[in-house]
Amino acid sequence: MKTNYSSWSILLLSVGLTFGQLSAQEAVKGEIRNTQFHTAYTPSFQNDGTDAPIKNVILMIGDGMGLAHLSAGMYSNHGQLTITSLKTCGLVRTQSANNFITDSAASGTAYATGQKTNNGTIGLDTIGNALINMPEKLDKIGYISGIVTTDNLDGATPAAFFAHQQNRNMGKEIWKDISQSKLTFFAAGSKELFKKQPQSTQKAIEKQFTILNTPDIKILKQSKKAGYLPEQSKTASINKNRGNFLPATTQMAIDYLNDKQAKGFFLMVEGARIDKSAHDNDFQAVVREVLDFDQAVEAAIRFAEKDGHTLVIITADHETGALSLGNGNMDTGNLKGTFVSKGHSPIMVPLFVYGPQSHYFSGVQENNDIHNKIYQLLSKSKNSN
């Protein structure tokens, strides 16, 4: 569906009014004057919404990115983002199997497996049985998969796409799971964390993946499977001058997977530190993280437009901080925001889609519906060839 700006405005206003009623002691106010503008990319839409078969899917998750977070990025960037230039949009409900307010583990598992589970659980159902994740499903029908994140590799969202553990805090067990995964590529934090794992885990991972600590394209192209684990500073908060890790690595992952000449590929890209900044009620960092994520989205949209058979889906796992927006100026990049929580909220999250078959994702849906629609489209494409 085309964006109905009046409806979005009414919904955002209602969110702001609801949280505006809370006491001043509970609210944390922030403001930004953005000076790092980037030009939003608007695609041609030539292949958008067509019935052409899907070869590749790029799922982009802005961790913690609610409607207000996305709007904050847009308003502070002269009122434009690549994300909000897209025509097909919807909303996603994020509740977990056992809680009205989800965590990243449960919501990540819903996106990764198509089934809801309990908070804190990675890749398992509500009674502890392993769920088949997207890379595992797609491997059986000839597709390859990858993940890119600004979180550590054992972070809840990326882990949901390769691990099966009862608790998201089981870091050593999650790292161990990567060697048994069906991933062809991963990029995450970090070199230092990898070296802290048991020698048996390190050797098992290195047996399956060529591990790079710098983006050596020559070695990458020669690798059957690859993992990029840079220094911690490369995936740290944008407040610590992370640089362009997320946009650059998103492009690297797309190029690497596309060059494999497989049936097609699935890539999950996570802007993890939108969430972490919102947990800290750091409004400036939230906006800057959204802007960084938007530039990674641009890399995916440009590829999809050129390729013609790639579907790009941009959403979030949940909202963090119960953020509302105040006064601002789109010309100068000034904007005020107010958090009334340091945790997650049940507010629906935005969904934007570009590419063939994009119309299947409009409207309001559950987070696990996204997985099921992706798999249905890719398995349909396989069977039609």
Catalytic positions? 104
- Three-state DSSP string of the chain: CCCCHHHHHHHHHHHHHHHHCCCHHHCEEEEEECCCCCCCCCCCCCCCCCCCCCCEEEEEEECCCCHHHHHHHHHCCCCCCCHHHCCEEEEEECCCCCCCCCCHHHHHHHHHHCCCCCCCCECECCCCCECCCHHHHHHCCCCEEEEEEEEECCCHHHHCCCCCECCCCCHHHHHHHHHHCCCCEEEEECHHHHHCCCHHHHHHHHHHCEEECCCCHHHHHHCCCEEECCCHHHHCCHHHCCCCHHHHHHHHHHHHHHHCCCCCEEEEEEECHHHHHHHCCCHHHHHHHHHHHHHHHHHHHHHHHHHCCEEEEEECCCEECCEEEEEEECCCCEEEEEECCCCEECCCEEEEEECCCHHHHCEEEEHHHHHHHHHHHHHHHHHHC
What's the token pair of residue 117? 């589970």
Paired strand residues for 351: 90
